Amino acid sequence: MKVPETTNVTGDHAALTAQSIVSTYTTKSSFDAKETEISDLICFSHLRWNFVYQRPQHLLSRAAKNYRIWFIEEPIWSDTLHMSISQQTDRLTVLVPHLPHGTKPDEAIRLQRQLLDEFMADERINSFVAWYYTPMAMLFSDHLKPALTVYDCMDELSAFWGVPVQLLEKEKQLIQQADIMFTGGYSLYEAKRSRHPHVFAFPSSIDFAHFSSARKSQPDPADQRDIAHPRIGFSGVIDERFDYKLLTELAERRPEWQFVLLGPIVKIDRALLPTKPNVHYLGMKSYKELPTYFSNWDVAILPFALNESTKFISPTKTPEYLSAGLPVVSTPIRDVIRMYGSKEFVQIADTAQAFETAIAQALANQNSGDWTAIDAFLNENSWDHTWNEMNRLLMAQRTVVVDQ
């Protein structure tokens, strides 16, 4: 499984953006929040901070260098009305609105607005960036007057199961209000670029140092230790995007292969998932733990179904698997093909038989890929670089807004 020693390659970030960042706004080499006296960033998220560690956590933990981060989650039910506050670092705080049991929908919106206003008054927040992952937050935050509004569209949420009926209406409102939009991949960029004058694609990036530690031998975690090899691993949320039929057929075709699945099971009937003896559900693992699991796998897979919910995804796990030195096999997700399949960094398979063949080849020809090229690509696409480019755009756009 091991690959050659990692290389420290740096390069421009042009591959991450759908248009040239520098030529769009300014050639100024650096920006800082202090230049425009914006010290706070309020994020409205449909994802919980302490759920799966993904795009919001990667970006906002880095944004904390430039701003105080206030991460507001969706509400939970409680006995009393209050805003719980959990400080993750000295620059990043998670807030959760607690609403009384039995609160009706219209009242819930009013109470969230009330808790938001009280929080901002208490913290004396005036000039701030409003950063949205969920358009539904517009229901209780559209009265705010941010210095800059950002819509980081990481997924096509309208394609997911169980979304609110107002989502498309609220997204339209958010796009109209936003000063700048980012998308989580090129397919999303293509779907959104005609709806806003300033849209930029920033596909999934990588914390290379963290995941490349998996290339060195690490102790096998206790719950994985007794699973035989070869191990075929998947890490991520198991939901409506997961191709359970594909996995079931693979497990049946190759009973000697062990399929190891890391991640929570949500929004999908567990009865649909395969229960074969060679399929192992190990549950959600912390971000810190993932390299220890990856280090003891033989192949990594992206078994995504081809449906509306996967049409625009840019899986974070793709560069994480590659950074860990693992050969990767994926279903034909458009952004995976565009960024990795066309370079032959990832093997693409569109049927169970093709998937089986690709995995077998990966097991037989470890390290057959051009790992120098893979590492160069990964190092150019770090989360640090992505955040720095995003912040340059924010400050450039802020200058435009102020000038107007």
Quick: pLDDT tens for 9-45: 333 333 334 344 434 443 333 344 444 479 999 999 9
d(CA 155, CA 216): 33
Q: How many CB atoms lie within 10 A of CB 155?
A: 21
Q: How many CB atoms lie within 10 A of CB 364?
A: 8
Mind listing the domains of the chain with CATH numbers? 14-205+382-403 (3.40.50.2000), 208-380 (3.40.50.2000)
Residue-level pLDDT at 32: 46
Cβ-contact 301, 280 below 8 angstroms: no
333: burial class by Cβ within 10 Å (0-12, 13-18, 19+)? buried
| DSSP letter assigned to residue 44 | E
Task: Write the pLDDT tens digit of every residue in 69-84.
Answer: 999 999 999 999 999 9
DSSP line for 359-375: HHHHHHSTT-S-HHHHH
Residue ranges with strand state E in 184-298: 199-201, 231-235, 258-262, 279-283
Average pLDDT (133-140) is: 96
- pLDDT > 90 in the chain, percent: 78
Average pLDDT (101-116) is: 97
Phi, psi (5° rounding) for residue 206? -145, 140
d(CA 262, CA 58): 19
Tokens of 90: 């000295």
| DSSP letter assigned to residue 25 | S
Weakest-pLDDT range from 212-226, 248-262, 388-402 = 388-402
DSSP 3-state percent helix, strand, coil across the chain (nearest 5)? 40, 20, 40
| DSSP letter assigned to residue 185 | S
Residue-level pLDDT at 370: 85
368 confidence band (pLDDT: 50, 70, 90): low
Distance of CA 263 to the CA centre of its chain: 14
Whether the per-residue pLDDT at 365 is higher than 90: the answer is: no
d(CA 111, CA 105): 10
- pLDDT > 70 in the chain, percent: 88
Residue-level pLDDT at 113: 98
Whether the per-residue pLDDT at 180 is higher than 70: the answer is: yes
- Spell out the alpha helix ranges (H) of 267-382: 290-294, 317-323, 334-336, 352-364, 371-380
Pairing of strands 180-183, 199-201: parallel
Beta-sheet strand order (sheet of 279-283): 279-283, 258-262, 231-235, 299-302, 328-330, 347-348
Weakest-pLDDT range from 79-88, 256-265, 303-312 = 303-312
Residues 6+ positions from 310 with CB-CB distance below 8 Å: 241, 304, 333
366 confidence band (pLDDT: 50, 70, 90): low
Cβ-contact 250, 352 below 8 angstroms: yes
> Which residue is it, tokens 């650096």?
30
172 or 3, which is more confident = 172
> Which residue is it, tokens 């929040």?
33
Residue-averaged pLDDT of the chain: 89
128 confidence band (pLDDT: 50, 70, 90): very high
Whether the per-residue pLDDT at 322 is higher than 50: the answer is: yes
401 confidence band (pLDDT: 50, 70, 90): low
Average pLDDT (363-376) is: 82
pTM of the model: 0.86
DSSP line for 99-132: EETT--HHHHHHHHHHHHHHHHHHHT--SEEEEE
Cβ-contact 133, 47 below 8 angstroms: yes
